[in-house]
Amino acid sequence: MLILTLNCWSYSVRYQLFDWNAYSVLAHGEVERISMGGTTITHTTGNGTSYRRGFECPDHRAGIAAILAALTDPGAAVISNLRDITAIGHRVVHGGDTFTHSTLLDGEVLAAIREAQQLAPLHNAPNIAGIEAARSLFPHIPHVAIFDTAFHQTMPEHAYLYPLPMDWYTQHGVRRYGFHGPPHLYLSRRAALLLNKRPADCNLVTIHLSKGVSLCAIRNGCSVDTSMGLTPLEGAIMDTRCGDIDPGIPPFIIEEGNLTARSMDNILNQKSGMAGITGSVADRHQVQERAAAGDERCLLALKMQSYRLRKYIGSYIAAVGQLDAVVFTADSGETGWLLREMTLQGLECFGIAMDSDRNRSALGDEKEWCISRDESKVRILVIPAKEELVFVEDVAAIIAGHLPDSLTYDYRFARTRESQ
């Protein structure tokens, strides 16, 4: 059984072709600059063959067609016939409060995704474009939606509601939804395995550090709080998103600067965060490099981000109780030793004691690392982000007629290697 996964953004598509029977990746890659001109596809096979090519790409359908061509390309083919693809899994960022698990796509489900589009217009619109394109190209195979928001549907009411007029929730769906559900789910199950505990017995704080940043408080294996909210804008400081701010600031600056609500939204999402603090640099690797070289604005950005992360960790300990582990993943979570070190400073009072040498040695390489001291009461783990495995496993489960419940489902990636 071959499963194709698609992660569609406004101007790009990340993809992976997975052989379920061999439990291995046949190929993966990314199409960049869709509809912008200068579109490229970077394609890598499981045996390491790789290429990068340019082509004309006016829309997501053309981007997905290029992916299909790459999979059967004579120079780097991984399949001989596109009919070998059994099913396609689609990342969908916002499912509102309708979906508590991944779901087989049909007209009704797609309509619900459209309904949630106003809550994440920058994300759901390209997700829908990818779904429509793939379904038109593959009308006779199952398509499955994997929702960012589904893992967080276990949050209690007192955690997901805002202190706003209740009509805003009942009539407009204004509540905390949370995002990055698949990576947080993956971390919760892999951490439980490394801790030699059942997921239902684990209390964790998981931290996804990429262009978007989110933290999740996991009690007894379930999400009970998360830093992103109604939209992916809330929470920690991100590359270009502001995260938590005084809600009085936007109307004040709109009035002072004679701005529109749309332009303010663009500033908060695209020109704030690390980019806003440094004045120009948004890439967190560059920020860390320049901070280490003495750039004061970049050092300030790191201090602000690590301080915000540290406060979230402390508040989530209060939410989950006795902590088993703090888990880092994704981009800076896997390779950013300086940001991890700054974030974890002063948390020894919570039993979180980092080993500096282990932390500086943990630089990705697709490995799982433990960077806490031997005597630390709370483990500190660095685990590679493999959210595509959640996509693949959920697709396989649904095809087999199972419900991929995030707590009780027997995910293969949560087993020991011998039992996979």
Is 324 designated active site? Answer: no
Three-point CA angle 325, 390, 130, nearest 5°: 135
Q: Are strands 204-209 and 325-329 parallel, antiparallel or unpaired?
A: parallel
Q: How far is CA 39 from CA 16, 34, 35, 60, 66, in A?
A: 19, 6, 8, 11, 11
- CA–chain centroid gap for 69, Å, is 27
d(CA 371, CA 336) in angstroms, rounded, equals: 13
> Which of 419, 417, 415 minimizes the C-alpha distance to 190?
415
Catalytic residue among 19, 148, 225, 324: 148
d(CA 227, CA 342) in angstroms, rounded, equals: 19
> Which of 114, 244, 128, 121 minimizes the C-alpha distance to 176?
244
d(CA 318, CA 350) in angstroms, rounded, equals: 10
How many residues are recorded in the chain?
A: 420
Phi first, then psi: give them for residue 29, nearest 5 degrees: 175, -165
Strand ordering across the sheet containing 103-104: 50-54, 40-45, 24-32, 12-19, 2-8, 85-92, 143-147, 103-104
β-bridge mates for residue 45, sequence order = 27
Catalytic positions are 148
